[in-house]
Amino acid sequence: MEARPGLVVAVGMVGMNAAMYGFTVVANRRLVPADFGAVTALLGVLLIGTVVALAVQAVTARRLAVAAPEDLPQVTAQTLRVAAWMSAGVGVVVALSTVVLTPALRLSSPMLVVLAGATLVPLTLMGAQGGIAQGQRRWDLLMAIYLSSGVGRLIAGGVALVISPTPTAGMIGVAIGGWAPVVVGISALRAGRPTPEPLRPLVKEIALSSHVLLAYFVLSNLDALVARNVLGAHDSGLYASGLILAKAALFLPQFVSVVVFGKLAQGTTTGARLRAAAMVAGLGGVAVVATAVLPRVALILVGGSRYEEIADRLWLFALAGSLLALVHLLVFDALARHAHGVTPLLWGAVVAVIAVAYGLDVHIAGLVLTVAGVAATLAAVLLTLPNGARKTQ
């Protein structure tokens, strides 16, 4: 992996995730555990909702990486046209899902889900901008887009929670902050005139990639929703606190897949997949050992002494997050090669988590161990598939 691009993207992604973590910490400190559990569940909905944005970014980056120089303006123009429609569609669909999600997540107001839908409009547009920057290897622009996304959420969401420590205020701030990366990435919106070529192949590829990412994000965020549903309000809040550490371990190594994505798509580097997997696994191992050795330091990061009950189990959350990070890399490896056959494996893992969580009536440790075990098994299976899965044309 090239040093400078890796460093630039790492700064952007780590900065973005650190700022988003900062917002979670602010929410953790400003809200009572029951309300914090509600916000955590809504952030899980946002993460699942961003599958379209991530699919747009991945497909755009892949197409630009393999396109001839003279085709770049056309690919960019097509992406922006499709992303504009998809951003509106995703926002409306999630907003309308409030009739289902409000009672399912035991939320105090249907407006919370509507606000989540509103947030996904700029986040989907950000996906198009990020894909253009990534595919054209404009690493500085990509770093700025990532940083502004995290900082926008931290500042707008944090200020809103300071003004009014309620889930509604927090989600209003998150929705406002979602437009920061769109403003920063405005230069990526400059493209040539789209030629009258059919958009169906692009839409189909985004749909297939969205399905893969939907399965992955359901898997990686399912436990937050399950905890909200099967655990009591107090234990759900404790679990949500542990998830802060899990998400940190999950997000930390994701810069690796961004930088190697183009090479994986071009198929020019034979050992890129294994080297990237080793790097992600190494970073995860450091996170797990550090948490196990310094649980009190980790406790400070996830909310402080009022979450003392979960201190000795925090390393389990770091383990689960690290294993999900490895699965994340292998999923994007499949997307880089246009191999969408991993989808059944991901959905199978989702079913396994649900079956164990509800069938065995697990509690906090049991739920996080279930996620870790399923993720480890899935990663092992994906690593044993030489081509990731069947290639979809």
Domain ranges across the chain: 3-384
Mean of pLDDT values over 39-68 = 84
Residue 35 pLDDT: 84
Percentage of the chain surpassing pLDDT 70? 88
**Residue 350, pLDDT above cutoff 90:** yes
Higher pLDDT, 69 or 158: 158
Residue 376 pLDDT: 94
Output the average pLDDT for the chain.
83
Q: Which amino acid is at 220?
A: S
**Residue 303, pLDDT above cutoff 70:** no
- Angle between helix axes 272-293 and 233-251 (nearest 10 degrees) is 140
Question: pTM of the full predicted structure?
Answer: 0.76
Residue 393 pLDDT: 42
Closest CA to 38 of 235, 164, 225, 305: 225
Please report where in the chains the tokens 């994701």 appear, as a residue.
Answer: 254
pLDDT band, residue 389 (cuts 50/70/90):
very low
pLDDT band, residue 193 (cuts 50/70/90):
low
**Residue 75, pLDDT above cutoff 80:** no
**Residue 10, pLDDT above cutoff 70:** yes
Instruction: Give residue 203's Cα distance to chain centre.
Output: 21
CA dist 188 → 58, 126, 129, 132 (Å)? 15, 10, 6, 6
For residue 113, the surrounding DSSP H or E stretch is helix 111-135
Output DSSP code: residue 231. Answer: S
**Cβ-contact 315, 292 below 8 angstroms:** yes
Percentage of the chain surpassing pLDDT 90? 23
